Amino acid sequence: MQRKNKFITKYDFGNNIVSFDEYVISFGTSCSLNCEYCYLKYSKTPDTAVLYKIQPIEIEKELGELFRCGKKFFYFTAGETTEPLLSEEHWDNLCKIIQIISKEAKKYNIKCLIEIRTKTDNILKFKSLPLQDENIKIVYSATLSPQEIINNFEKNTVSLKDRIEALKYAAKLGFLLSINFEPIIFWPVSGIQKKKILHSLHILLNNYKQIINQVGDIFENPNFFLLNLSCLRLTKQQYKTLSDKKSKLCFFEMFLCEDGKYRYSRPLRITIYNELINFVKFLWPKIENKIFLSFEFDYIWRACGLKINLSNFIF
């Protein structure tokens, strides 16, 4: 399929959201993983995953415009419009774009990070990516969720065990490494009373702490780049559609935020983040400046005692 719009677009986060100023690489659209919370299910995308025909001249032109703006560092993300490792064709297509970015980055002397965010273990099967150079670094970013969450809301994805195995393999390949706890889903919910909610929260935190213990060697790896935490966000439309379908994603204590997305209430989010941050910091104190609260407001960062210093992440 011919791409009608740009291949590279700036992500619009909305007011007061802390971000890397990410640029999205659109090399395809839609996704067969069908995660219950994914925004792609609610946007006008084809039913099956589609790849765009790579047009090198167009991409070079887009990158040229971008790289001439004066900024010396760019963060690209490849997991927004489709799953980057969904199929070998997806991976090949992305690799072609990465090669173009690499060439242009060298030409303009720009540093780039390219995040490949995945819920698959396909890195084990596809050809490796020889693309780490002085201008460009690839971040293998594994989304890790408790197995119970995978079973309920990410049914077509691989198991937690397989995702961890793939992450450890990516470590051997020399990628920068990122662990994503995104979205953190409030589940299971054992009841509607406050006491039951607190019990559910305790279960949620224990589930994530167990995962943290399973990936201790990743936190200790010199290529460890980022721990990303982010609670579930749902658009107004998603919240309505999912509640009509009686989806367990529609937790009742969610509020509409200024960016038009429903989030768990502030005390819940802050407690989840703080508990996980303190747990990781206790085990690996140096990790503190590698923790990122994705799609969160600056006052949430402050409440979690995190300093907004994005230069920690620039190589």
* Nearest approach, Cβ of residue 232 and other proteins (Å): 14
Residues 6+ apart with CB under 8 A from 145: 153, 154, 160, 181, 185
Please, which residue, 109 or 190, has the CB nearer to other proteins? 190
* Nearest approach, Cβ of residue 307 and other proteins (Å): 15
Please, which residue, 164 or 268, has the CB nearer to other proteins? 268
* Nearest approach, Cβ of residue 14 and other proteins (Å): 12
Please, which residue, 91 or 264, has the CB nearer to other proteins? 264
* Nearest approach, Cβ of residue 194 and other proteins (Å): 4
Please, which residue, 308 or 314, has the CB nearer to other proteins? 308
Q: Provide the β-strand partners of residue 231.
A: 184
Residues 234/185, Cβ–Cβ less than 8 Å:
no
Neighbours of 19 (CB within 10 A): 15
* Nearest approach, Cβ of residue 171 and other proteins (Å): 35
* Nearest approach, Cβ of residue 125 and other proteins (Å): 38
Please, which residue, 61 or 199, has the CB nearer to other proteins? 199
Please, which residue, 144 or 270, has the CB nearer to other proteins? 270
Please, which residue, 220 or 298, has the CB nearer to other proteins? 298
Please, which residue, 53 or 246, has the CB nearer to other proteins? 246
CA angle 28, 228, 263 (to 5 degrees): 85
- Which residues contribute to the site for other proteins (CB under 8 A)? 16, 189, 191-194, 197-198, 201, 243, 246-248, 250-253, 255-258, 263, 265-268, 270-271, 297-299, 303
Q: Can you read off the two tokens belonging to residue 193? A: 């009373």
* Nearest approach, Cβ of residue 51 and other proteins (Å): 37
* Nearest approach, Cβ of residue 262 and other proteins (Å): 10
